[in-house]
Amino acid sequence: MDALIALGYSVQQAREALCEVDPKIKDSGDRIREVLRKLGK
């Protein structure tokens, strides 16, 4: 979540986006990439 906040997203945006990521994705880098894809839409 800290990486997303550092990129300018609010805590709420980061938290909500992370909750939507598939829990099967364990690698933090992969999770962040997935969140950025979702936030970019």
Residue 7 belongs to domain spanning: 2-39
DSSP state of 26: -
| 9 φ, ψ (degrees, to nearest 5) | -85, 150
SS3 of 9, please? Answer: coil
pLDDT for the residue 20: 94
What is the CA 7 to chain-centroid distance, rounded?
11
For the chain, how many structural domains are there in total?
Answer: 1
Rounded average pLDDT per 10-residue block, the chain, 41 residues: 93 94 95 92 70
Q: What's the confidence (pLDDT) of residue 40?
A: 87
pTM over 0.85: no
